[in-house]
Amino acid sequence: MVATAPKKTVVTKIVTKKKTKLVVPKRPTPKFLKPFVSLGEYFKGAWYELRQVRWPNRKATWSLTGAVLLFTGFFVGLILLLDVLFKFIFEQILK
């Protein structure tokens, strides 16, 4: 049996204006836990980004909703009109 020396952990100090912080390197994550750790980091990052969003007020939200509905109605009408037009043209050609 071969004796091995215990592993050393390196601790570094980061000095800032307010306080001294000790940074201990993280142990490697076991392979079977990596997908869960990655998923947790994804949600943590997504939550951080959502906190940075400048959300619109109620008036702006309603005006943008109205604009979306107006454009949607316009394009639905345009597509229906083109459909009727092309149907009429093809019926005339096939007669």
Q: Are 87 and 79 contacting, i.e. CB atoms less than 8 angstroms apart?
A: no
Considering 13-22, 53-62, 69-78, the range whose residues carry the highest mean pLDDT is 69-78
Beta bridge partners of 32: none
- Res 23: pLDDT: 76
pTM of the model: 0.48
Q: How confident is the model at residue 9 (pLDDT cuts 50, 70, 90)?
A: low
Q: Is residue 80 part of a domain?
A: yes
Please state the domain count of the chain. Answer: 1
Average pLDDT of the segment spanning 33-45: 89
Q: Is residue 27 part of a domain?
A: no
Q: Is residue 47 part of a domain?
A: no
Q: How confident is the model at residue 1 (pLDDT cuts 50, 70, 90)?
A: low
Domain holding 93, by residue range, is 57-95
Q: Is residue 73 part of a domain?
A: yes
Q: Is residue 32 part of a domain?
A: no
